[in-house]
Structure 1
Amino acid sequence: MMSLPIVIVGAGQAAARAIETLHGLSCGRRIVLVGSEPHLPYQRPPLSKKFLTGDATEEQLWLQGEAFLEKADVDFRRGETALELDVTARNVTLSGGETLAYHQLLIATGSQPRRLNLAGEELAGVHTLYSIADVQRLGAGLEDAQRVVIIGGGYIGLEVAASLIKLGKDVTVLEQQDRLLSRVVSPVLSDFFKQLHEGHGVTLRFNARAQRIEGDTDATGVMLDDGSVISADLVLVAAGAVANDQIAREAGLACDNGIFVDEACRVAPHVFAAGDCARFPSRRYGRHLRLESVQNANDQARAAATAMCGDEVRYDPVPWFWSDQYDVKLQIAGLSDGHDRVSVEGDPKANSFAVSYWRGPQLLAVDAINTPRAFMQARRTLQQPPSQSTPSMAASG
Structure 2
Amino acid sequence: MNRIVVVGASAAGLASVETLRREGFTGTITLIGEELDAPYDRPPLSKQILASQWEPDRIALRTAEQLAALDLDLRRGVRATGLDTAARSVALSDGSDVEYDGLVVATGVRPRALAGGAGHVIRTLSDALELRKRLRPGTRLTVVGAGFLGAECAAVARGLGCEVTLLEPAPVPLAHAVGEPVGRMLSAVHREHGVDLRTGVTVTAIVDAGARLPDGTAIADGGALHPDGTATAHGGALLADGTVVAADEVLVAVGSVPNTDWLDGSGLTVGDGVVCDEFCAAAPGVYAAGDVARWHNPLFGVDMRIEHRTNAAEQGMAAARNLLGAGRPFAPVPYFWSDQYDLKIHAYGYLRGHDAVEIVDGSLDERRFLAAYHRDGRLVGALAVGMPPKAIRPWRQAIASGGSL
Q: Note whether the superposition's TM-score is higher than 0.5.
A: yes
Q: 1:22 aligns with which of 11, 20, 23?
A: 20
Asked if 1:380 is matched to 2:397, the reply is yes
Correspondence for 1:111 among 103, 109, 112 = 109
- CA RMSD in angstroms comes to 1.9
User: Which residue number corresponds to residue 52 of structure 1?
Assistant: 50
The number of residue pairs the alignment matches comes to 379
Secondary structure in structure 2 of the residue aligned to 1:276 = helix
Question: Which sections of structure 2, spanning at least 5 residues, go unmatched?
Answer: 212-233
Give a deviation string over 1:200-230, Cα, whole Å, max 9, x none.
Answer: 1111001111133232479612222233321
**Match of 1:281?**
296
| Kept in 2: contact 1:113–1:242 (CA 8 A) | yes
Taking the TM superposition and a 5 Å limit, the aligned residue runs for 1:33-182 are 33-116=31-114, 118=115, 120-122=116-118, 126-142=119-135, 146-182=139-175
Report if aligned partners of 1:184, 1:337 keep a CA contact under 8 Å in 2: yes
The yes-or-no answer on 1:347 pairing with 2:363 is yes
Distance 2:260 2:7 in 1: 11
1:145–1:234 CA contact under 8 A, matched in 2? no
Structure 1 residue identity aligned to 2:36: P
Mean CA deviation greater in 324-333 or 359-368: 359-368
Cα distance in 2 for residues equivalent to 1:368 and 1:129: 26
Is the 1:147–1:170 contact (alpha carbons within 8 Å) kept by the matching residues of 2?
A: yes
Match of 2:328 in 1: 313
Per the alignment, residue 266 of structure 2 pairs with 251
Q: Confirm whether residue 364 of structure 1 aligns to residue 380 of structure 2.
A: yes
Output one character per residue of 1:252-282: Cα deviation in whole Å (capped at 9) or x when no partner: 2101010011222111122111000011112
Q: Distance in 2 between matches of 1:374 and 1:14?
A: 28
Aligned 8 A contact 2:168 2:201 in 1: yes
One-letter code aligned to 1:380: Q
| Per-residue deviation, 1:363 | 1.4
What secondary structure is seen at the aligned counterpart in 2 of 1:303? helix
| 1:9 paired residue number | 7
Indicate the SS of the match to 1:192: helix
1:17-39 per-residue CA deviation (whole Å, 9 max, x = no partner) reads 11221121121112111101011
1:211 and 1:224 in contact (8 A); partners too: yes
Mapped to 1, the partners of 2:242 and 2:260 lie a distance apart of 36
Residue 188 of structure 2 is aligned to residue 195 of structure 1: yes
Q: Is the 8 A contact 1:83 1:247 kept in 2?
A: yes
Is the Cα contact below 8 Å between 2:291 and 2:308 reproduced in 1?
A: yes
Q: CA contact under 8 A between 2:28 and 2:72: conserved in structure 1?
A: yes
User: 1:373: Cα distance to partner?
Assistant: 3.3
Task: Provide the rounded CA distance (Å) in 2 between the counterparts of 1:105 and 1:362.
Answer: 36
Change (3 A) 1:385 1:187: closer
**Change in 2 beyond 3 A, CA 1:187/1:385:** closer
Give the Cα–Cα distance (whole angstroms) in 1 for the partners of residues 384 and 54 of structure 2: 26
Distance 2:203 2:161 in 1: 25
Percent of residue pairs bearing the same amino acid type: 36
CA distance in 2, matches of 1:170, 1:250: 47
Cα 1:385–1:140, aligned 2, differ >3 Å: closer, same or farther? same
Partner SS state of residue 291, structure 2: coil
The equivalent of 2:220 in structure 1 is none
Write the letter of the residue equivalent to 2:7. Answer: V
The code of the aligned residue for 2:90 comes to V
What is the deviation of 1:143? 5.4
**Equivalent position amino acid for 1:34 in 2:** I
Q: 1:4–1:101: 8 Å Cα contact kept in structure 2?
A: no
1:68, distance to aligned residue in structure 2 (A): 1.4
Deviation at 1:132, TM superposition (A): 0.6
Say whether the 8 Å CA contact 1:47–1:132 is kept in structure 2: yes
Aligned counterpart, 1:390: none
Letter in 2 for 1:365: G
Q: Give the counterpart letter for 1:70 in structure 2.
A: A
- State the TM-score, normalized to the length of structure 1: 0.91
What TM-score does the superposition give when structure 2 sets the normalisation length?
0.89
Cα deviations by residue, 1:53-109 (Å, 9 ceiling, x for unpaired): 111121111111221121111121110111111111111111111111112111100
Which SS does the other structure have where 1:377 is aligned? helix
